[in-house]
Chain A
Amino acid sequence: MGMDRREFIRIAGLSTLLGLGGKGAFELLAPGRVEAEIIPAPRSMKAKRWALVINQKKLDDATAQKCAAACHRVHNVPDFINPPDDKLKLNPGVANRYEIKWLWTAHFHNAFPGDAPPHLAEKVEHMSFLVLCNHCANPPCVRVCPTKATFQREDGIVMMDMHRCIGCRFCMAGCPYGSRSFNWMDPRPYVKEQYPGYPTREIGVVEKCTFCDERLAQGLQPACVEASRGAMVFGDLEDEKSQVREYLRKYFTIRRKAHLGTNPQVYYIV
């Protein structure tokens, strides 16, 4: 069965018209994307450069542990060392390797390696330093991430997009502070008590402290700061009147491995 030229042109023309009509109708029914209609929540806190000051003089051991627990609770951080169920117990070596930490304590020699004088003050020797992601102004983790799953927001927060992380762990090799942890297995069963409203993670992604971006967006201070009973101060480094700046004016502070050039934004008063 053949088709003469006239008929071919007629059908081709008609289908072109139909095709155009289809696309036009689609554009009319679902115009573009909907993102233009998303706005910041009215209470959200803004800054030019977020920074954290930890006053170690005011921070006792118990409070430090409470801060870490508060952070891990509101972010559904799994506990591989002390799992919620005995059946989930891992052998200690494995559990140590799998451990996920956003905020934890370390001694001076581990937190500030190479910075200790030969005879360190006894008080400092036994101090528990709260350590976390420093939200470096020059973050090597961001530079090495091949997918931009970790990126620097314009307010300084070094953010994690778990949706995009492919688990290559370049960032863990790049971070000189061990601030990042990898999910070697499904973490959800190891979350003690699911904190409603915040996601857990899946196997194969890297996670770390995000300076509580979700709380800042609701106008709340970071969970660790709230639990620290005044030993931690969070604020805008660029704002002269902020409490962070006030503390930096008043006290001498140190930063972790600042000589590496990462420009960490967590300051310690010792």
Chain B
Amino acid sequence: MADYKNEFGVFAERPKVEKKIFDRNKVIAGLVIFLVMVTIPLWQNLGKTVAAPTPNLDTPVIQKLAEKDKKCVMPKEWMRANHMQLLVDWRDNVVRTKEQQVTTSRGRNFVASDKKQYLASLTNTCMECHSNKAQFCDQCHNYVAVAPNCWGCHLETGKKLAEAK
């Protein structure tokens, strides 16, 4: 048999190393504890169901609208998926620029597909109708665990609503 060589020297034959875990019980117990700790959030929520959000459209302003005007600036399904993109576009157009360059188109009015114009404004347009932030916005945001910081600055009450009150 050829000499066996490793970083410690040259051996006549492969050195016999005992294959065993020292302190086997302690190590396994430790591993189990570690795994349980790491997965605690899973165990805690096991079997619990979180109710699906049911955004509420019942606000005074929406109730007052005629049946044919009870629609959003864009179709409902589109808004569900893309309202954040719409808001970012509104923001860029109102505050800065088209295409985010330094020169600007600076629009204020959003033209809906039926040619109706709306002021491009979260507070003064969206929140005018959806004045029930907790039921309309927060429910879904909480459900999907997103925390948009729009309302850190933007107020919940727009001008028209404040005047009506």
Contacts and interface: CB of A to CB of B under 8 A. Distances in A.
User: Is chain B a partner of chain A in the same complex?
Assistant: yes
Interface of A: 29-30, 33-35, 37-42, 44, 76, 148, 151-154, 159, 161-163, 194, 196-202, 217-218
9 contacts: A33-B85, A34-B86, A38-B90, A38-B93, A38-B108, A39-B111, A39-B117, A163-B95, A201-B153
9 A-B pairs with the lowest CB-CB distances in the bound complex, closest first: A38-B107, A197-B159, A196-B162, A199-B153, A41-B108, A35-B89, A38-B93, A202-B152, A37-B111
Contact of A161 (B81, B96, B155): B96
Interface string B81-107: 110011001111111101100111111
Contacts of A33: 85, 89
Interface of B: 74, 78, 81-82, 85-86, 89-96, 98-99, 102-112, 117, 119-121, 123-124, 149, 152-155, 157-159, 161-162
B37 to A, nearest CB: 35
A37 B98 CA distance: 11
Given A162-B153, A194-B155, A197-B124, A37 B110 contact: yes
Nearest to A200: B153
A49 to B, nearest CB: 14
Given A152-B102, A159-B95, A202-B149, 18 more contacts: A30-B78, A34-B85, A34-B89, A35-B92, A38-B89, A39-B111, A40-B107, A40-B108, A44-B108, A153-B104, A161-B96, A162-B153, A163-B91, A197-B123, A197-B162, A198-B155, A200-B153, A201-B153
B98 to A, nearest CB: 6
Contacts of A44: 108
A199 B90 CA distance: 15
Contact of B123 (A161, A163, A199): A199
Contacts, number: 94
Nearest to B124: A197
Contacts of B162: 196-197
B96 A151 contact: yes
A38 B95 contact: no
Given A30-B81, A33-B85, A154-B103, A197 B158 contact: yes
B149 A35 contact: no
Contacts of B155: 76, 194, 196-200
Contacts of B152: 202
Please classify the interface of chain A as helix (H, G, I), strand (E, B), loop, or mixed, using the class held by over half of its residues.
loop
A246 B161 CA distance: 40
Contacts of B119: 41
A197 B163 CA distance: 11
A40 B154 contact: no
A39 B94 CA distance: 10
B159 to A, nearest CB: 3
A196 B89 contact: no
Contacts of B90: 38
B148 to A, nearest CB: 12
B57 to A, nearest CB: 22
A234 to B, nearest CB: 18
Contact of A196 (B78, B85, B112, B158): B158
B104 to A, nearest CB: 6
A40 B124 contact: no
Nearest to A42: B109
A186 B88 CA distance: 23
B109 A38 contact: yes
Nearest to A217: B108
Contacts of B108: 38-41, 44, 217-218
A40 B109 contact: yes
